[in-house]
Amino acid sequence: MYRLTIFTHFAAAHNLVNYQGDCENLHGHNWKVEVTVAARELDKSGLGVDFKVLKRETKQALGLLDHSYLNDLEPFKGLSPSSENIARYLFETLGERLDTDNITVEQVNVWESENACASYRKD
């Protein structure tokens, strides 16, 4: 099994719901996103999947989130737009775009700072 990982980022505002502390107030982050996919086989070029494809699909998935107020977006209606829920949203969205017989989204990490990361993967 081959694993490929890309990094990208987006900026957005949010506030945590039902949280007792400062993060219940409106604030923003410059999130770093790490996407890892698994490929069973390589193509005739020796690639599991082209990094251009991973970057393009991730950029499109982030299009809804970038420079927005996350609490107002449909994927987070009734949810706190935490890093955990953002990671799950991106995992599911990218799975719809990328999963094939050969490629599977394995894990999405969402870093809200250089010291704090939330991950989502299916076990």
Contacts 24+ apart (CB under 8 A), 88-92: 88/120, 90/33, 90/35, 90/58, 90/61, 90/62, 90/120, 91/120, 91/121, 91/122
Asked if 114 is an active-site residue, the reply is no
Q: Which of 23, 84, 92, 117 is catalytic?
A: 23
Asked if 117 is an active-site residue, the reply is no
- Report the side by side order of strands in the sheet with 116-120: 2-14, 27-39, 103-113, 116-120
Q: Which of 9, 41, 67, 96 is catalytic?
A: 67
Asked if 84 is an active-site residue, the reply is no
- Residues involved in catalysis: 23, 67, 112
